[in-house]
Amino acid sequence: MANLRYSQTADFDNVKAIIVLGTGFKNNKPTPVLASRLDKSASIANKNPQTLLILTGGVGFNKTVSEASVMRAYLLDKYRLKNPMALESKSISTELNLKNSQMILANANIQLNEPIVIVTSDFHTLRALAIAKKQGFGDVMTAGAVTPVYIRYNNWLREYFAFVSGWVLGEY
């Protein structure tokens, strides 16, 4: 039986990996939504200094660097994290973020049934959890980063349609 959980406040102690889902960057800097996800992941990583951080996001349209590399630079510059980091820099969707992260987990000898945290935005946790469950993650938790107020309602509305679309297309 899969152990799937969501929390904004859990301590997330003794996790084996933290997967941070990308969402966009501009001028090689995280957008406010991505920065919120990275800040959330840093607070979890600081409590778990040996835990592998997997940063996800490929090279988007009109970009020259991967989102994962921008995320790494932000975390190192702002938080000076010592955690091991792996870049999943080929994906452009949540489904691919999680699918491609599985190879990184396997290479680090981390099984899908071990405690793994997926860090995403508060509006995105339900869909991320559903996709992870379908892909075979067995002990996964989502940590929801707070979405800035000025874009919160647009993102919640967009996510509603993405959730329905994902269900219709069989993502979960």
Inter-CA distances, 158 with 131, 153, 155, 164, Å: 17, 9, 5, 10
pTM over 0.75: yes
Q: What is the DSSP letter of 10?
A: -
Q: Nearest-CA neighbor of 8 among 128, 116, 149, 144?
A: 144
Alpha helices in the chain (DSSP H): 32-47, 67-79, 94-107, 125-134, 149-168
φ, ψ for residue 103 (rounded to 5)?
Answer: -65, -40
Rounded distance, CA 75 to CA 70, Å? Answer: 9
pLDDT in tens, 26-79: 999 999 999 999 999 999 999 999 999 999 999 988 888 999 999 999 999 999
CATH number of the domain encompassing residue 28? 3.40.50.620
pLDDT in tens, 107-136: 999 999 999 999 999 989 989 999 999 999
Work out how many domains the chain is built from and give that number: 1
Provide the 3-class DSSP secondary structure of residue 115: coil
pLDDT in tens, 73-115: 999 999 999 999 999 999 989 999 999 999 999 999 999 999 9
Q: Which domain holds residue 144?
A: 3-168
Neighbours of 62 (CB within 10 A): 5
Rounded distance, CA 142 to CA 37, Å? Answer: 11
Q: What is the pLDDT of residue 6?
A: 54
